[in-house]
Structure formats: structure tokens, C-alpha cells
Amino acid sequence: MEFPLVTTPWLEANINNQQLVLIDVSMSKVVGKKAIEYDRPLFIPNSQHIDLETSLCDLTSTQVHAFPVAEQFTRQAQRLGIDAESIVVFYDNQGMYSAPRAWWIFQAMGCKNSFVLDGGLPQWLSEKRAVVSGLSVDEPVPGQMNGKLQSDFICDSNYIMDKRAGGQLTLIDARSKERFLGLAPEPRAGVRSGHIPGALNLPFPEVLNGHCFKSPEQLSEIFLNLAGSNNTRLVFSCGSGITACITLLAAVVAGYSYSQLILYDGSWSDWGSNSVLPVER
């Protein structure tokens, strides 16, 4: 299993590698942390951009931030020039926010040679590495990547209701403690406060050290203390499936295998808006 992160020194050394496809996946709206604001656009050289909320979302779904369908993913991957041999690296301008979501989508669609830049643009800037004010203007040669969704990478509320009854999963919620406990209102209208019964709370900033992930040893200890050493599958949730991917990626860094992890796509925006589903506070 490939380690899922690349470092800023590695990226700088490989910035002109013809196999590298470097993608900025920054989002305009940041929830759950104080947003880093910029007075002008800044990018790592040779970057392309993809919009997680449109190009990599199934906009025909009623679900917030629904996973893209395979055909949609394939169009976008080929547009970016991605082939089977490509080294795909994602980053965002918040350090560690939306890049893990893009990485999990690509992993789920079969693009295994995809990675996240640890620390993202803020870490790159803090080390005074070169930046540019615009995206790459070179139109890439269309790629040949074909996506196929591996269904065990994501789940829905029915899966959770079925598996939690038998103690077959451990649900980890990446929202803040206040939202988890129902002490703070949800940002989306019509969504109840609280959490899925039995869920454990791991706010996503707790797996980070500054802009980067904590060490594999530190993360392993966090997950061991939180979930214990049982062999149940870890299901990751948040507000709408974005920041859950940060804690999911942290689990991979800690040494969990992909087969042990699954994303509840839709997360609390899906569960909390369905009055039939139980809520705990």
C-alpha cells in the first residue's frame, strides 16, 4: 500500500516530472475552522484546478456533496490529462481541508496513484517555495483514465442502520464537539442537531499539527484511544462528507488499510435531515 502523502520537498523536486498531475482543489467556503484568506490568488507552479462542488459532485442528487458518478469522474480525469501512469497530487489553500476529499474520490474510482500534499499551499508558502498567480495555461493532452466506483468506499444511512445494530462498525464524526453534542446549530437549514447514536467524536483539527498531519505514531495512538483495538470497520462522517475525509486520511497515515475504512457520503446533512433516523445528544 502506497503512503498517501507527499511532502513539500518531494513535490518541489518533482514539479517538472512529466507524469505529475498537480491539482488545486481549494473550496470557496470553509466550515469547521478559521479560513486562511489571501489578498491575491496563489498557486503552486504547474497547477490545474478542479471544483469539488460542481465537477466532482453529482448535481442530480438531492444529497449535499454527493459522490460523482463514474462517467462524470472519467470526463474530468481525462480532461486533466490523467493516465494510468500519472502521479496525481492534490492540495488546497487551507493546508488540509478539501484535498483529502478529492483523494478519496480518486481512490474510490480506481486511481490508486493519487496522493495529498501534506500541509498544502500554506506549508509550501511557509517554506518560501515558488508560487505563481495563475493556473497552468497549457492544455493537457486528454488522458485515458476510466473511473469505476468501488462501492465499498462509501456508504449510506441504510448501511449504518444495518451494521450498527450488530456492532459491525465504529462511526467517527469529524465535526466540532459543540456540533456533535448538539450545542451549536447546524449550518444547513432543516438539519437537526446532535449525532448518530453510538458515534465517536474526533474533530478533524485534532489529527493535524499546524498545516500538516501528526506523525503516524501519534495518529495511531489517537485512533487506538478513541476506537480501541477492535476489528470493526471505521465509518467516517462530518457535516457533508468533506472534512470526514481528513480523519479518514489520518487513519490511513496511522496504518489502517483501505478495506477497514468507509466514508458516509452525505454525512450529517443526510442523517440529520431525515426525521425517521435516530439522533443522540
Positions marked catalytic? 238
What is the dihedral angle through the alpha carbons of 28, 32, 36, 38, rounded to the nearest 10 degrees? 20
- What's the rounded Cα separation, in Å, for the pair 87 and 74? 16
In degrees, rounded to 5, the angle at the alpha carbon of residue 78 between the alpha carbons of residues 76 and 82 is 110
